Chains A and B, each alone.
Chain A
Amino acid sequence: MKEWVGFNFQQEIERLKELFGFDYVGIALVQTPERGFELKWAYVTGNQSERHRRIILQSGKGVAGLVFKTGKPMYIGDALNELGTNNLFNYPIVVAEGLKSFGAIPLYKYNRVNGVMLVGYRKNQGLTVEQFEQFKQEIGKKFGPFYDKEMVKDESVQ
């Protein structure tokens, strides 16, 4: 793992934001087990509010919590219609950042989800399925210390 100590998350998400023209990119990381596996937005760029600093998600809650729990990517093309006004508040980061279309992928480490990367636009249908796919290709097999389970056939690779 030592080789990744110098990995600059902030720089990397800013590069991705530039490359795809995303409005917002954030990485939520699992806190230490002593703190009960909570997720916190550790690196963000393009944010319009500071609310993400206060949000600590439990597994299963919010975008990051869901992706964390299921271990599967999540894609929402039209947040308002797909999640519904009455349900939208359960995705606080989406509300706080005013995201209209977004996608999130799990970041694996030791065969477990260790983080979640969220990319999104503040306009409807901003993020298309094709673009989300391209984004996943760009991340590739490895992102810093993490890897993408879908890309790696042999799950024991660390």
Chain B
Amino acid sequence: MNQFSNVDLSNLLLNLYGNSDEAIFFFNREGKVITMNRAAEEILDTDVYEQMMAGSTGAICKTCKGYTSTDELQTCQSCYMSNPDENISSFQVYFDTKGRGIIPYSASIQTIDEQFGIRVFMLRDLTQQFKTQEELNQKMMMQRVIKAQEDERKRISRELHDSVAQEMLSSLVDLRVLKYMNVDEEVLKKVQQTEGSLMRLLDDIRHLSVELRPATLDDLGLEAAFRTHFKWIEKNYGLIIHFHPELEAKRYGGEIETVVYRICQEAVFNALKYADVDELVVRLHVADGFLHLLVADEGKGFDLQDSDPQGTGLGIYSMKERAELVHGRLHITSEIGKGTMIQLEVPVLEGGNGE
């Protein structure tokens, strides 16, 4: 400690007291404010400040909205000011501040002078940390929702494919048997029509199952799933997709494949909906331990900073969230009139895990 002996400690402390963003109050044993620093003055409403300076002991309660106990978020039960001998190193308290409304603070109260019973009460603004915490929670929640949605889709898709479609197929076979029985011409015609309707229904169920989540993705991997999907897009919407898979049929684990598939699906749908193009390019390749996905069109493009996006505006957000699920990164470049490019890179173990 000797090496610091020539430091002007009182000056440093004065600077801390005067310039800190933390509000510092000094109380005497009776709970009267002796003095407070600039940061403390700033959070107090003028009339509260005046009452405090006039020596009113209860003035602090006008601005304090309670502290967090194990029972309640904001409570006045056994107030931190009530016991002058108790030191609390940290607790959370809510203050109604001037101009900013009710804000959470991390507070501490301790006796610094036993003889005169002087206590110091310090407040640290927690808004920033709360915001960070909230963002983190939101992100975790979003990722869980994405996961839950994917699982549920998988379940329903399987159910449709394995049980509903199978049942339908057996009734179709039963119906076909009728053709070889001795039935009336008129009946036969009706049977054929019913067979047609059933076949259509079976097709609908299969399409629904694939739309929810393609079984090919789990069974055969990205390349096969994309090929089927793009063929479907071309048939349904007349959009040509130039697909360049350079994966050599490798597998990359269920989660990564799902993310890449969903992001690509979203990107292609966005191009379909908003880019006003007849064709687009999708490239899939591996380099330097990263799986790269590129979706590019030469359509309308859009302003990335636009706060009022076409559509729900959720698409790009959920694409980013999905990418983060597998520690991937998503780059979007777009220029009005030139087109849009979506790039995704996901770290993969070299060689894949051959799931």
Binding site for B on A (CB under 8 A): 33, 36-38, 49, 51-62, 85-86, 88-89, 92, 96, 110-112
Q: Provide the B229-273 mask, 1 if CB < 8 A to any CB of A, else 0.
A: 000001111101000000000000000000000000000010011
> Given A86-B312, A89-B272, are A58 and B236 neighbors across the interface (CB < 8 Å)?
yes
Q: Provide the B115-142 mask, 1 if CB < 8 A to any CB of A, else 0.
A: 0000000000000000000000000000
CB pair B238–A54 under 8 Å, yes or no, is yes
Min CB gap A150→B, angstroms: 20
Q: Which residues of A contact B204 (CB under 8 A)?
A: 58-60
Of B204, B235, B238, B240, most buried by chain A (CB within 10 Å of CB) is: B238
Q: Which residues of B contact A89 (CB under 8 A)?
A: 237, 269, 272-273
Min CB gap B288→A, angstroms: 36
Complex Cα–Cα for A127 and B273 (A): 25
Q: Which residues of B172-215 are within 8 A (CB) of A?
A: 193, 196, 199-200, 203-204, 207
Q: Which residues of A contact B238 (CB under 8 A)?
A: 51-55, 92, 96
> Given A49-B278, A86-B312, are A57 and B236 neighbors across the interface (CB < 8 Å)?
yes
Chain B contact residue count (CB 8 A cutoff) = 20
Of chain A, the residue at the smallest CB distance from B270 is A89
CB pair B278–A51 under 8 Å, yes or no, is yes
Complex Cα–Cα for A10 and B136 (A): 62
**Cβ contact of A56, chosen from B200, B235, B278, cutoff 8 A:** B235
CB pair A58–B237 under 8 Å, yes or no, is no
Complex Cα–Cα for A56 and B235 (A): 5
Binding site for A on B (CB under 8 A): 193, 196, 199-200, 203-204, 207, 234-238, 240, 269, 272-273, 278, 310-312
CB pair A54–B240 under 8 Å, yes or no, is yes
Instruction: Beyond the given A58-B204, A92-B236, please list 8 additional residue pairs across the A-B interface where CB-CB is below 8 A.
Output: A33-B196, A33-B199, A37-B203, A55-B236, A59-B204, A60-B204, A85-B311, A96-B238
Q: Which residues of A contact B193 (CB under 8 A)?
A: 110-112
- Those 4 A-B pairs whose CB atoms lie nearest each other, nearest first: A51-B238, A54-B238, A55-B238, A56-B235
Min CB gap A53→B, angstroms: 8
Complex Cα–Cα for A92 and B236 (A): 8
**Cβ contact of B310, chosen from A52, A60, A85, A112, cutoff 8 A:** A85
Complex Cα–Cα for A62 and B311 (A): 20
Q: Which residues of A contact B200 (CB under 8 A)?
A: 36-37, 59
**Cβ contact of B234, chosen from A52, A54, A110, cutoff 8 A:** A54
Q: Which residues of B contact A36 (CB under 8 A)?
A: 199-200, 203
8 contacts across the A-B interface (CB closer than 8 A): A37-B199, A54-B235, A55-B237, A56-B235, A57-B235, A85-B310, A96-B238, A111-B193
Min CB gap B278→A, angstroms: 6
Q: Which residues of A contact B234 (CB under 8 A)?
A: 54
Of chain B, the residue at the smallest CB distance from A54 is B238
**Cβ contact of B196, chosen from A37, A38, A51, cutoff 8 A:** A37
Of chain B, the residue at the smallest CB distance from A56 is B235
Complex Cα–Cα for A110 and B311 (A): 42
Q: Which residues of A contact B237 (CB under 8 A)?
A: 55, 89, 92
Min CB gap B268→A, angstroms: 11
Of B196, B237, B273, B278, most buried by chain A (CB within 10 Å of CB) is: B237
Min CB gap B29→A, angstroms: 67
Of chain B, the residue at the smallest CB distance from A89 is B273
Min CB gap B317→A, angstroms: 16
Complex Cα–Cα for A110 and B196 (A): 13
Complex Cα–Cα for A46 and B273 (A): 23
Q: Which residues of B contact A57 (CB under 8 A)?
A: 235-236
Min CB gap A22→B, angstroms: 21
Q: Which residues of B contact A51 (CB under 8 A)?
A: 238, 278
**Cβ contact of A62, chosen from B203, B236, B240, B312, cutoff 8 A:** B236
Complex Cα–Cα for A48 and B136 (A): 50
Complex Cα–Cα for A59 and B237 (A): 14
Complex Cα–Cα for A37 and B193 (A): 12
Q: Which residues of B contact A110 (CB under 8 A)?
A: 193
Q: Which residues of A contact B203 (CB under 8 A)?
A: 36-37, 58-59
CB pair A61–B278 under 8 Å, yes or no, is no
Complex Cα–Cα for A62 and B273 (A): 14
Of chain B, the residue at the smallest CB distance from A36 is B203
Min CB gap B186→A, angstroms: 11
CB pair B273–A86 under 8 Å, yes or no, is yes
Q: Which residues of A contact B310 (CB under 8 A)?
A: 85
Q: Which residues of B contact A60 (CB under 8 A)?
A: 204
Q: Which residues of A contact B207 (CB under 8 A)?
A: 58
Q: Which residues of A contact B311 (CB under 8 A)?
A: 85-86
Min CB gap B315→A, angstroms: 10
Complex Cα–Cα for A152 and B82 (A): 91
